[in-house]
Structure 1
């Protein structure tokens, strides 16, 4: 089916909104996961210039955008018409005639492309000698506390602080890979928590590089929190970090539930 000129599609599910240039774009992205009543597709023409500028101001400069509910302002997309979603295998993404569409409406709110968009990230690092053989460990949990995945990475010979940062980075990368958009991280390293929050300065160059990488990763989520917890409340991540000291540098293992 030939795409209509200047048409765009707004897909809403949960608390995230995605903006697509064609039906095939969002079908490839979402697949069958949105074939239910919780997903809504809207169609518009000529994405308003103020919307393009608004997305650019939020760092969204590609042809396909996604943005959180709290960042969507009233009337941002102009006039939209509800457009029932169809699976790519059914009718090749054809949109019903406009006579069968519900009345034109403005969209306020947002979309999420995974059924579970939030997770808890527990991270910890270990070093046998400080510096010594080091490992990074991370645990991803669902909001109800159930384990999603256990992660381990060998760090080589390095300090405990480096291992702590590597653990946070390991967990954030995996959360992004799995499509999570909201992350609450927690670890027993006060240094890492405060530096990532921007409350403490990073005087060591190596630590500054790691902190920069962690911040760049956290900025890819719609929301991010990091909290310091006592060591006794971080035991599972600690176990993974200690197991990781036996891995070669850069080697990653994961146990997904």
Structure 2
């Protein structure tokens, strides 16, 4: 795979349909590979991986400029995984993009693997930061974006964070700084799955109305169904055209999306899945694709 010289441009109806279908197929493979990785450990953040697969498919197969063979290419777009426990989803997306070998996914979370259960930049090619201590990603993105501006580098910075991460004051400090400096080379992506470690997000600390809050902080804010690829593509295209301020894409996603067995799991933040259930999950995913 060669570097993307530029993100995919909007096209006619037929080309757009082909583009959306290509991304949907990528999202399906990301989900399937995430299930395979989850089975290696028998547990993990598989619900989040299934929920965010469509978002990551758009980002990695349609939006980012990168060179799979050169993770440190100076003109690459930066993708920051602030929510480091989503690493299982990111690895599947990176394998889809050719950044890490597909067969390496079998080592997920194992001793001496380059794919630890929480993302670490020192281990994994193409991983920009060590995420997981929530509230740091957007601050790092702000600093990176300022540095790129000073260098005259037109690379974009994407930061994936969660609705639970909006509980952190440092996130909003970074949001203010980013808007103050007019960093239109920053796109924040918020995965709103309404769940965090301590329970439903709305019950832990109410953060709504999210669009109004981000706009009040000076951001160009959009909210979409994060499991609708066509809608996601249109939103990212709009953000790519926007100038003058940072952008945030608020994505409402469903934990376990595509696998009813896991969508309906009561304790879904960190899932334990029985040995016999993994194949059921794969079968349900395949059945959904066939419909």
Alignment TM-score, normalising by the size of structure 2: 0.21
Greater share of helix: 2
Greater share of strand: 1
Alignment TM-score, normalising by the size of structure 1: 0.23
